[in-house]
Amino acid sequence: MGEMKTIVISLGGSVLVPSLESNNIAAYAEMLVRLAERFRVFIVVGGGGEARRYIAAARSLTIDEATSDEIGILVTRLNAAMLIAALGRAAYPAVPASHYEALEAATAGRIVVMGGVTPGQTTDAVSAVLAERAGADLLINATSVDGIYSADPRKFSGAQKLDRLSPEELLAIVQGGRMDAGANNVIDLVAAKIVQRNTIPLLVIDGKHPETIAAALLDGVFAGTLVSRTPEPVLPLE
Ligand code: UTP
């Protein structure tokens, strides 16, 4: 058997913790434990609705954007700590505060779960950089939409879902999005640029049901958007 492939999953807070009371943490933990038998797994958890509520409250105190970002980062780390708790022994027990710490944690051979690291970006960017640093074979963005559209589907009824696109096409779509604290784009600009500068394929997939991710990875069955430089099939990841 060859070496285990490495995957980095950007797990949107809106997917994992739509709200604290109705969260997907247990279902995700169960699926991730299974994935970790086959792959080296890194998870970057987003802030979701709770982060946006904190950021809105911070703004109303006339706090600057970067400080609001820091508050958002703390919420992503809180969500990461919740997922780590649910994963139990399958996860490295602490939330790495940098990519370096995440790589160090990975040497323990367990699932590594982190949140944000620095203002001015989102956890999408964190996950894209982590994918580069970990030499990942695939980056997955598990989000609350079912893929990348030619335009924002909430604003343009004619927007079309794209099954497959190149990193350059992704960048063209993402440019023009907003980037203030709590901004909600399908993927952030920094992440799109990083995807464009390396050869790691990106799968953008609806993360509402964790099984969707397992089916994509293990069976190659998926309905999201695949961003890759070459037309070769990426999934299933063997
Ligand atoms: P998220 O990555 O969750 O952004 O970070 P999001 O767009 O809300 O994603 P979903 O909805 O969870 O999928 C939440 C906020 O935390 C700050 C930003 O303000 C971001 O909007 N943040 C996060 C940073 O400033 N730096 C980071 O590295 C990560």
Block residue for tokens 């927007």:
159
The pLDDT, as a whole number, for residue 49 is: 92
Which domains does the chain possess? 5-227 (3.40.1160.10)
Q: Is 45 in the pocket of ligand 1 (CB under 6 A)?
A: no
More confident of the two residues 9 and 187: 9
SS3 197: helix
Alpha carbon 2 to its chain's center:
26
Both structure tokens of 120: 């001015």
For 131-185, write each residue's pLDDT tens digit.
Answer: 999 999 999 999 998 999 887 777 888 888 999 999 999 998 888 655 556 555 7
Average pLDDT, stretch 188-209?
96
CA distances from 103 to 43, 119, 130, 157, 201 (A): 12, 21, 8, 42, 20
DSSP string, 50-92: HHHHHHHHHHHTT--HHHHHHHHHHHHHHHHHHHHHHHGGGB-
Crossing angle of helices 123-134 and 189-197, rounded to 10°: 20
Q: What percent of the chain has pLDDT over 90?
A: 81
The pLDDT, as a whole number, for residue 19 is: 87
Phi, psi angle pair for 143, to nearest 5°: -130, 180
| Probe residue for ligand 1, chosen from 78, 123, 143, 204 as the CB with the greatest number of ligand atoms within 8 Å | 123
Q: Is 225 in the pocket of ligand 1 (CB under 6 A)?
A: no
For 21-64, write each residue's pLDDT tens digit.
Answer: 999 999 999 999 999 999 999 999 999 999 999 999 998 999 99
Torsion sign (Cα): 13, 207, 23, 100:
negative
One-letter amino acid for residue 179 of the chain: M
The helix or strand, by DSSP H or E, that contains position 213, with its residue range, turns out to be helix 210-219
Average pLDDT, stretch 85-104?
98
E strands along the chain, which residues?
5-11, 39-45, 112-114, 138-143, 148-149, 161-162, 164-165, 202-206, 225-227
Nearest CA to ligand 1 atom 23: 122
